Amino acid sequence: MAGSKSKKKQPKLKTVSNSQPGPSVEELQRFYRDMLLIRRFEEKAGQLYGMGLIGGFCHLYIGQEAVVTGISSVQEKQDTVVTSYRDHAHMLACGMDPKGIMAELTGRIGGYSRGKGGSMHMFSKEENFFGGHGIVGASTAIGAGLGFSHKYKEDGGVAVAYMGDGASNQGQVAECYNMAALWDLPILFVIENNQYGMGTSVKRSSAGQLYKRGEGYGIPGEQVDGMDVFAVQNAARQALDYIRSGNGPYILEVMTYRYRGHSMSDPAKYRTKEEVASMKEDRDPIAQIKDMLQEAGLDEAEIKAIDKEIKDIVNEAAVFAQESPEPDESELWTDVLVEV
């Protein structure tokens, strides 16, 4: 595994922002469905939070749906995913059951972590989802480790490690760029740049361009429009091809926007209402796909049918999350250590 190489990589630094023409109706429908599931799920989570059924921290993904939807659409089965605390959407995109995710949010035994992890700490070995981490920046090192394991096991997998713009300033991110490049690890670093690390804008926190931060290590970086799911998909496809061909890591900085606050209790005084409104009105990733579906000839009834289907899935998850019992008191003591 070790053994640094002397080859010089030519970093590829370009900006992709245009969609490729000609998506099929099926593809449009799939994207519409996948993104709408995330949005409706998150709205429902916000609603249950408002009712006091979800506690603690709850970070919603509304507005950022195109990022994880575009990237996961070109992943392969053996790939692994890890992210930070704004993680519900990544789990949905990995194919995890909305019921199990919502029940974890409500702290019930039917949740993925039996109610012991909560919003920020969920995992699914089956779906290759490795968390759900509450410590900002940890997902990059754990992601590098997933990449390391793919290379060690020679299973052809790529690790996709998400971080926010805020996390990109953590020291361990630089440490992992270095090791990932040094050892040609199969890892896609995704910076979800939603412009604000909690209440601090990127302008106030970050020098230079985030996608260029791999340049010194020879890691290609690319900035992509994260409100356009096709732009994200195209960029991810190229990046994953590059990584899967044995070239080592790649950085995608995906420019996106969260409509809601950082967490549920954030009054969002650090940005103007006009800014939020203009993103919602002009750039919304789901509205864009809906327009494309209409242009492609899908009538209102067919779109409503998808809406209904998603609403039913989310409502079913919400019912399950409230009917599933709280964990038994004996659960307090289990899973601290693997018994030997």
Closer to other proteins by Cβ: residue 32 or 148: 148
95-98, long-range: CB within 8 Å, 24+ apart, which pairs? 95/127, 96/122, 96/124, 96/127, 96/129, 98/37, 98/41, 98/313, 98/314, 98/316, 98/317
Rounded to a whole number of angstroms, the minimum distance from the CB of residue 23 to other proteins is 25
Question: Closest separation between CB of residue 36 and other proteins, Å?
Answer: 11
Please give the single-letter amino acid code of residue 335. D
Min separation Cβ 137 and other proteins, Å: 9
Q: Which one, of 56, 34, 95, 50, lies nearest residue 285 by Cα?
A: 34
Cβ 25 to other proteins shortest distance, Å: 25
Between 56 and 95, whose beta carbon lies closer to other proteins?
56
| CA-to-CA dists, residue 209 to 156, 169, 214, 251, angstroms | 31, 11, 10, 12
* Shortest distance (Å) from residue 117 CB to other proteins: 4
The two structure tokens encoding residue 248 = 């080592």
User: Toward other proteins, which CB reaches closer, 177 or 230?
Assistant: 177
CB 38 within 8 A of CB 94: no
Closer of 203 and 273 to other proteins (Cβ) = 273
Shortest gap between Cβ of 16 and other proteins (angstroms)? 28
314, β-bridge pairs = none
The whole-angstrom separation of Cα 138 and Cα 154 is: 24
- Quick one: 41 or 230, whose CB is closer to other proteins? 41
- CB nearer other proteins, residue 235 or residue 243: 243
In the chain, % helix, strand, coil (3-state, to 5) comes to: 45, 10, 40
**Helix or strand holding residue 200 (H, E):** strand 200-201
Q: Name the residue type at position 80.
A: T
